[in-house]
Structure 1
């Protein structure tokens, strides 16, 4: 109770740009709206909004590399952002609306690149640095990238990628360690950020212009550029700053929150919440360029973050890794899970390890929504009907649960599973170069996620529409079975996919990772699951023991790889 009351009191002082209107909004028979009042959203470019109050804490650390210790103060960040913006326009001859590719892991220079480009009216397309040249080249071509910003260590990857499309794209490289030499033909990033450029800024950046262009597979199909405007992301930051939603404390003379940024900044969850939101409030970001147990645990012990922003794989790791101790959570004030749903059993394991009553919050969003749509709040935690829920919509946001393939967008009643559709200022402008990719129904954006809500209006996710397993006409959400399986002794991770079955059409098949040094009896696991689910949800597709579950950078299970594994084994 002390944590909650203290948090709300301090949070109330940090929403200077958010003006609350009168009156709340509640669920109706036609849609679900936020219980919180609408907020006024300023029409500011993203870079201006994020750094609006940075002068108040200019000597504080803005970002620090957890691996090398390289860091920048807020004063240095502001200077580098300004210099980089001028260099892009004057030295590299880019025009407003041009695109640069940000091919970087999580490093302290990431916000310099994003905010500097935004200040210059340049669009950033964020690229996963573990992609192959073939994958990167497709994004470079589709986005019409004019410049690539990357690490010295990734210069060969960037060069090979641009070579596949036969385009002369300048490559800017960042030295991540002392003594590194800029590759021949590359441009040294420091030369663009450490020198002032006399470039008159025209000040005409419109908030409806595209700021970032991340790529997402959307509800179906191949990756495509998601056009997120300055207004989209600023809207989401305002929504997250609401005193009853935000968990970070605004920096003061005697306090600065610290957050580990291990979730990838090229992913919208990382970019908006672990980078832009933290900088807006003056927090210190500890960037982790990759996840390794030693690096993550080392920064946890050294920097003692107040907020843990997690995805399910990291939450499960913390709950199960033997070197993570109770004292490592001594400074943690709140845990927030996102990117993919975390089951209540996994949550309980983590809190048991911490041996501390830490508020555990969940959120839901998509690349197409900047990302946040639904969150749990500290004030919700006393309500028992929230257990397992994602929460309720953020301010200025409306959602519906509609029937599959219902083109009338008719809202279903409580406890009826359907597809979530969304309206709000954080919803994307559209897909880049994909006018045929219309995922809107009468202004409502289809998410492809299956959910339901209870009588109290709390929303629960079941699974992705395209990942549901069809068993004799029944729909089985893999996530439900995965949570049950992870509760079986000595299983640290699990994934479930549908495989062909001659009698049922499809049947659930489990892929499980045992705890090191232990063995799993598949038959006992099948019986364990059988005792907890309806007959059509049983693991009639069998069980496979594997070393690890394939996942993308944000922690979502790559089920197609498991299906390919099954197909290969059953040729």
Structure 2
């Protein structure tokens, strides 16, 4: 059964560029504050934002930037960067924004893959890429975080960007007149400002934390918790407007039932156009217009979605008994001495794969393997037990998206096998 979407109204993608769509909307807010730099405290209004974007667009045109040119950016966030992004989209050029934390090797690789013709670099970052040998080589190209493989270049259209804004607006009902814009960047600011917010109490008490789910391929957000959601701990919410979802049984073309874990398949108005330069076979990612997310999850009786893991992370023991590493990780993570834990499947001649745990302890803490084996053996069936071993490491590999890199752990295990 297809997961229910509570939003009957479809989002409009409009037959226009994102720049046209966005500037038409923000004109009505005139002298309201649009952006405020948390470092300099300088603010600009919506009118100034439009004006500065137009000036930037004209400057880019005089520079020779043309419709369809690919422009890479290697800068930190700022109001000036926002005006640049709007100008690029208004010109009909294609934007490739890269994380300023990337190393020169990564910058060169991704810019070459995207056939970047122009580069915007922040002055303080320029020295890092001064010597790059860049060849002249849609609306925007994002690179995925590369959690399960090499990062993929993903093309998004103007209509996908518009749909992204529309679905969040409709789902959250965010309006200028409803909310005061306050920067809460930095813990010193948070601790200082929250008591004043709450001194008189709130008319409506919202949850402290809310989960969302999205993929770059699907155009970012797909599921989001409603502001008034209660009793749905662990859920990443309901379908956003114009999102279709079904949970497919593993190794089957049948749809799963309520509370049955399967692969999440999606259709969205914000869906990607194509992968860049054939970085992966798009035919493997789509089936009859449905995007196969590679994520595992289920829905409850209220059609709230819960994510349980990634298909690629499943460990196949003796050919058919599938182990979810997440339930084992959750158990080990419950030990007070454990900072981080990841369980992967390592090759085994007899069983195919065996679960192995990598554990990072908290500073100053000690834990022996026997304690962990005893805990896991007590709670789980034989084929789920850590027969691939336990290894304590000082630093868990973390990727640019802040996730544990299982690929690096697999490489680590392979290197250890070669040195034995």
* TM-score (norm. length: structure 2): 0.86
SS in 1 for 2:131: helix
CA distance in 1 between counterparts of 2:183 and 2:8 reads 28
Report what 2:180 is aligned to.
Answer: 256
Contact 1:301 1:328 in 2 (8 A): no
Could you report, residue by residue, the CA deviation over 1:221-276 in whole angstroms, capped at 9, with x for unpaired residues? 5333211111112112211122xx327x4233x9513355xxxxxxxxxxxxxxxx
Query: Contact 1:61 / 1:71 at 8 angstroms: preserved in 2?
Result: no
Q: What's the counterpart of residue 542 of structure 1? A: 389
User: Against the structure 1 CA distance between its residues 516 and 502, is the aligned structure 2 distance closer, same or farther, given a 3 Å change threshold?
Assistant: same
Does the alignment pair 1:90 with 2:62? yes
1:424 equivalent in alignment to 2:268? yes
**In structure 2, distance between residues paired with 1:421 and 1:376:** 19
* Distance change in 2, residues 1:445/1:491 (3 Å): same
CA distance in structure 1 between the partners assigned to 2:378 and 2:75 by the alignment = 47
Counterpart position of 1:437? 282
Q: Tell me if the contact between 1:401 and 1:418 (Cα under 8 Å) persists in the aligned partners.
A: yes
2:314 aligns with: 468
Query: Given that residues 145 and 400 in structure 2 are in contact (C-alpha distance below 8 angstroms), is that contact kept between their aligned partners in structure 1?
Result: no
Q: Relative to structure 2, which stretch is displaced further, 102-111 or 425-434?
A: 102-111
Q: CA deviation at 1:555?
A: 2.0
- 1:532/1:381 CA distance change after superposition, 3 Å: farther
Could you tell me how far apart the structure 1 residues matched to 2:393 and 2:165 are?
40
Residues 379-414 of structure 1 deviation map (CA, whole Å, 9 limit, x = unaligned): 4424xxx332222211211111223455xx532223
Uncovered stretches (5+) of structure 1, i.e. residues with no partner:
1-28, 170-209, 261-285, 287-295, 305-326, 335-355
Partner of 1:553: 400
Q: The residue matched to 1:361 in structure 2 has which SS? A: coil
Counterpart among 187, 197, 201 of residue 297 in structure 1:
187
Distance in 2 between the 1:404 and 1:259 partners?
A: 44
1:360 to 205, 209, 214: 209
Question: Alpha-carbon deviations, 1:415-435, whole Å to 9, x = none?
Answer: 333221111201111213329
Provide the C-alpha distance between the structure 2 equivalents of 1:405 and 1:96, rounded to a whole number of angstroms.
Answer: 45
Q: Does 1:565 align with 2:412?
A: yes
Find the residue that maps to 2:282 and give its secondary structure.
coil
Distance 1:381 1:90 in 2: 54
Q: What secondary structure does 1:531 align onto? A: helix
Q: In the TM superposition, what is the alpha-carbon distance from 1:54 to its structure 2 partner?
A: 5.6
- Distance between the aligned counterparts of 1:54 and 1:521, measured in 2? 63
Other structure's SS at 1:41 match: coil
Between the two proteins, the alignment pairs up a number of residues equal to 409
- Residue from 29, 47, 53 that aligns with 1:81: 53
SS of structure 2 residue aligned to 1:526: helix
CA pair 531-111 structure 1, distance change in 2 beyond 3 A: farther
Confirm or deny: 8 A CA contact 2:11 2:242 kept in the other structure: no
Q: Identify which of 37, 49, 62 aligns with 2:8.
A: 37
* CA distance in 1 between partners of 2:307 and 2:13 (Å): 32
Could you list the structure 1 runs, at least 4 aligned residues long, displaced by more than 4 angstroms after superposition.
217-221, 327-331
User: CA, structure 1 residues 453+536, in 2 after alignment: closer, same or farther (shift >3 Å)?
Assistant: farther
Partner of 1:144: 115
- CA-CA distance at 1:449 after TM superposition: 1.2
Deviation of 1:115 after TM superposition, in Å, equals 1.5
Tell me the alpha carbon deviations over residues 356-385 of structure 1, each in whole angstroms, 9 at most, x when there is no partner. 983432111100112111222234424xxx
1:246 aligns with 172
- SS in structure 2 at match of 1:389: coil
2:339–2:361: 8 Å Cα contact kept in structure 1? yes
SS in 2 for 1:427: coil
